[in-house]
Each structure stands twice: as structure tokens, then as C-alpha cells.
């Protein structure tokens, strides 16, 4: 049977393993799924930290299992009820394998709900309790729609965690529901990789701090792309060149965005009073040099002063050191250091994003 254009409900789910958290506070309910809700203050979007992401992924796992069986020709299965029984068994196996792969840990789960109109398709199969349709929805567009929000949520965690800040992508998936309440299976599955990193239990204070940071990042449009670059750098632990490029791009982007137009000198009046004298001296130095633009080092100092990072000298000195030792040889001479300082640049990026977001 064909599936005409139909109003369907969707549930986008993004799951990442938070490597630096090893557990959540214990609960008096031994059978309860331990989790902590995070208030993102975005309509129809829920975020939580949980030790078990599988309940949020049940329909997505079933969709993946159904697609796998379809590719195998259902291996002689014909009855819809029998097919769905095997689908549920395979989906349970997918969920078990996921926890074996990523291990006991803490996961960030972001769920977004909404409605859309499906694309008419003739390639369908009705299983009674569910339907399989080919190309009925643009899953890539949905995932792209929420990518920025996922990045901001992950960046909020990365900024508040004081252990290893790596994020491991587990899955981005979408589940669909027909108007009659039946699942419409049309999703794909994406797994990440596993590694061994030190971690600590998450706390209620962590949850509240992450909430506060998320609110700051969501409200500051200038930090959307740098936050995504921070997460890209953290995800690139196996490729140091890629990680360095992502982190350095984000670092320069934050500094330049938050010092735009500094050549006018108007920024000096916005510096905390304790650093106003240093800010005025920096701008007079620029004027005396008769240059057209602030250098990156001067911008770093101006950023540090404006955001209350003491005199800004330490930030500027580290940016200058890394720029001369690694960034300039790479970009101007094609000389790539044997071991790029990804962790150092990522730490600076975390620092400037945190300062720009105004987090404590």
C-alpha cells in the first residue's frame, strides 16, 4: 500500500556519552532509571543526564532492527506478527550491545518533539501494529535542525565538567508516529567509539551548573558556532590535526567576535573598573602604533580585560605562544608539529567560551 502525505509526529533523540562522568547520585528506587533532568527552557525539548539511554531509544532501535531484517529478506518470515516479534528481539540485542560497547557511564540525552508532513511514497510495508516506509521523511534535515541545540547542550557540559571533557557520540535518531498512534519506522543508526578515560560521579550541583550554562549559550548567538567547534575538537581525539584545527578556529572566532570594532576604543568603558587603567593603556598603545587593526594578541588582552580575566596578559601570552609555535608554521609553511597541543588549545577555547557566556 502507498503512504500519502501524512501529518506524523516525530521525536528526535541525540545521545552522547559524557566520558568525564562515571555515575549519577544513587536512588532509593532500585528499579528506577537514574537520571537528572536539565531545564533547557526550549519548547518541546527535554534534556537529561541518565545512566541508561536505552528507554529513550526503543523505537529507534526497533526501526534499525526492522531495516536490518529487511536487508536480509526477512529470512523466510512472512506473518506481520512474527516479523515484529523478531524485530523486538533484535532491538533488545541492539540496546544490550550499546551498553556493552560504551559501558557503565553517564549519558546526555536530548529529545525534541514536533510534527511534520511526510513525503508520499509507494515503497511501504504494513505490519499491522507498525508501518515501514522508504524515504517518507527527510531525516537528515531533522537532525541538522537540532544539531546546533545538541552542540550547545554538549558545550554546556564540557564547560562545567572538571574531569576529562570528551564526548562520545552514541546515536542521533528519529522516531515517527502515525496519526493512529502506530510507529512509522524510517530511521538510521549511528554508533560512536569507546575509550577508557578517568571520570567521576555527576552531582546535582553539576546538573544545575550545566542548566545555567545552557541558558547562557542558547541566549548568545555569537557562541553557537564556537560551541560546535569545541565539541568537534573533543570528538576528534583520534585525529590530533583535526582537533587542533577545530579548537584553534573556535578560539580565534570567540576572541574576534567579542572584540569586533575594538579599534574605536569604545570597549574600554565596558571593562570592569579594576582593569580600566590596563584597558586604556592597551588602546593607547594601539593608537600610538598607528596600525589599522588590533593584533590577535591585543584582541586576546582586550577580551580578557573586558570579560574580567585579570589583566588578560596570561591569555594573550598563551595565544601568542601557540600561534607562533604551531598555528603560523602550519598555515604559512605547511609545517605540522609531530604532536600538536590539542589539549592546550581546547582548554583555552573552553576558557574563552565560558568567559564570553558569563558563567561563574
Contact 172, 160 (CB under 8 A): no
Is 0.85 surpassed by the pTM of this model?
A: no
pLDDT digits (tens, 9 = 90+) for 257-298: 999 999 999 999 999 998 999 999 999 999 999 999 999 999
Strand locations in 129-239 (E):
131-133, 167-177, 183-185, 200-201
- What is the spatial distance between Cα 234 and Cα 151, in angstroms, rounded to a whole number? 11
N- to C-terminal Cα distance for the chain? 58
DSSP 41-71: --TTEEEEEES--GGGGHHHHHHHHHHHHHH
pLDDT digits (tens, 9 = 90+) for 210-268: 999 999 999 999 999 999 999 999 988 778 899 999 999 999 999 999 999 999 999 99
User: For the chain, what are the domain ranges?
Assistant: 7-216, 222-357
pLDDT digits (tens, 9 = 90+) for 78-137: 566 678 888 889 899 999 999 888 888 899 999 999 999 998 988 777 888 888 888 888
pLDDT digits (tens, 9 = 90+) for 315-342: 999 999 999 999 999 988 888 888 899 9
Amino acid at each position: 500500500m502507498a503512504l500519502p502525505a501524512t501529518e506524523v509526529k516525530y521525536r528526535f533523540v541525540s545521545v552522547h556519552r559524557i566520558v568525564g562522568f562515571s555515575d549519577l547520585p544513587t536512588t532509593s528506587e532500585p528499579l528506577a532509571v537514574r537520571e537528572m533532568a536539565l531545564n533547557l527552557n526550549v519548547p518541546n525539548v527535554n534534556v537529561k543526564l541518565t545512566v541508561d539511554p536505552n528507554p529513550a531509544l526503543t523505537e529507534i532501535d526497533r526501526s534499525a532492527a526492522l531495516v536490518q531484517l529487511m536487508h536480509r529478506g526477512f529470512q523466510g518470515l512472512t506473518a506481520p506478527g512474527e516479523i515484529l516479534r523478531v524485530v523486538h528481539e533484535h532491538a533488545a540485542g541492539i540496546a544490550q550491545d550499546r551498553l556493552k560497547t560504551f559501558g557503565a557511564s553517564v549519558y546526555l540525552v536530548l529529545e525534541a518533539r514536533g510534527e511534520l508532513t511526510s513525503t508520499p511514497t509507494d515503497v511501504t510495508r504494513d505490519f499491522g501494529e507498525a508501518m515501514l516506509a522508504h524515504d517518507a521523511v527527510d531525516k537528515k534535515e531533522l537532525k541538522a535542525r537540532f544539531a546546533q541545540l545538541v552542540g550547545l547542550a554538549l558545550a554546556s557540559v564540557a564547560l562545567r565538567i572538571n574531569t576529562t571533557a570528551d564526548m562520545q557520540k552514541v546515536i542521533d535518531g528519529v522516531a515517527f508516529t502515525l496519526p493512529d498512534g502506530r510507529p512509522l519506522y524510517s530511521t538510521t543508526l549511528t554508533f560512536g567509539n569507546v575509550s577508557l578515560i578517568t571520570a567521576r560521579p555527576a552531582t546535582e550541583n553539576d546538573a544545575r551548573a550545566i542548566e545555567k550554562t545552557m541558558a547562557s549559550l542558547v541566549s548568545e548567538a555569537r557562541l553557537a558556532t564556537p560551541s560546535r567547534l569545541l565539541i568537534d575538537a573533543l570528538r576528534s581525539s583520534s585525529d590530533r590535526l583535526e582537533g587542533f584545527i577545530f579548537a584553534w578556529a573556535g578560539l580565534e572566532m570567540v576572541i574576534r567576535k567579542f572584540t569586533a570594532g575594538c579599534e574605536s576604543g569604545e570597549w574600554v568603558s565596558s571593562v570592569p573598573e579594576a582593569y580600566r587603567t590596563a584597558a586604556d593603556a592597551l588602546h593607547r598603545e594601539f593608537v600610538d602604533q598607528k596600525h589599522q587593526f588590533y593584533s590577535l594578541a591585543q584582541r586576546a588582552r582586550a577580551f580578557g580585560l573586558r570579560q574580567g580575566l585579570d589583566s588578560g596578559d596570561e591569555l594573550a601570552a598563551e595565544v601568542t605562544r601557540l600561534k607562533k609555535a604551531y598555528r603560523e608554521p602550519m598555515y604559512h609553511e605547511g609545517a605540522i608539529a609531530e604532536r600538536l597541543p590539542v589539549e592546550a588549545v581546547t582548554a583555552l577555547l573552553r576558557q574563552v567560551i565560558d568567559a564570553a557566556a558569563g558563567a561563574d
